[in-house]
Amino acid sequence: PPWLTYTDMNYQDYSQLRGEAREAFDAIEDWMADAFGKNRDTFVGEFDEESQEPLKRGMRYFAAGRSKDRRMFASWLFPKFQGDVNEARYREALVDILRVAGSSVAPKTRHKLSFDLGVLYFTADGGGNMLGVVASEDFPMAQAFKFLQEMLDVYDGIDISALDKADAVWKDERFRNDAFGVRDLAIAAWKRYARKEDGHAKDMNDQFAF
């Protein structure tokens, strides 16, 4: 019957998508094993600490840096997360990834690392620059990577090598946190992926049930 054929086709599509998703997760785990080897758990444990305040849902933090000298040229909390006491630890997680495995992150590949404060999603461009976000574990992975792709497109039109001549202003934290003035573009992109429950403590989930 037509309805049976339709159901079978849907199941086949679902199975294919599930297989592709499984391959993507396997690739992430393989990359983690290659990059960190037996030190993976030790590395993650370096920033696995309990939060000093209730963790909030959503995509909280963005950062970007260069693998060749580990200079961070973007670092900020998104709206709804200003004042997050874990900001320094989010940054530390990105810096540690940049230090340990930044040069091995292939352009436009997608990676994730879970730790006590949430999930770190990261990717890289073709110039050895790494971009990442920290989000709650319930935030959709696909949305996080869509945001990162938008940021890759933004930085693609910027000469990041100009940082080689920026020693004179590098001591200015405001410069380091948004060296190329793209924060407003990033926040506009973030708003397209933010959910109504974002910014609220995770134990408030039932208030947003449909």
* Residue 178, domain CATH: 3.30.450.50
Q: What is the pTM of this model?
A: 0.74
Flag whether 121 is in a domain: yes
| 146 falls within a domain | yes
Q: What percent of the chain has pLDDT over 70?
A: 71
Band the pLDDT of 101: cuts 50, 70, 90.
confident
**Sheet strand arrangement including 118-124:** 72-77, 59-66, 129-135, 118-124, 111-115
Q: ∠ CA(206), CA(47), CA(42), 5° rounding? A: 120
Report, as an integer, the average pLDDT of 190-204. Answer: 89
- Supply 146's token pair: 């869509």
Mean pLDDT of the chain, nearest integer: 80
Asked whether residue 51 is assigned to any structural domain, the reply reads no
Can you give the pLDDT at residue 68?
Answer: 87
Q: Is residue 173 part of a domain?
A: yes
What residue numbers bound the domain in which 162 lies? 59-193
If pLDDT is split at 50, 70 and 90, which confidence band does 113 have? very high
Asked, for residue 21, whether it belongs to a domain, the answer is no
Residue 186 lies in a domain: yes
Q: pLDDT at residue 210 above 90? A: no
Name residue, tokens 């403590």: 201
- Please tell me the least confidently modeled range out of 19-23, 101-105, 141-145: 19-23
Place of tokens 């408030």: 204
Q: How far apart are CA 191 and CA 27, in angstroms?
A: 29
For residue 31, is it within any domain? no
Tell me, yes or no, whether 27 lies in a domain.
no
183: confidence class by pLDDT, cuts 50, 70, 90: very high
What's the domain count of the chain? 1
Confidence of residue 196 (pLDDT cuts 50, 70, 90): very high
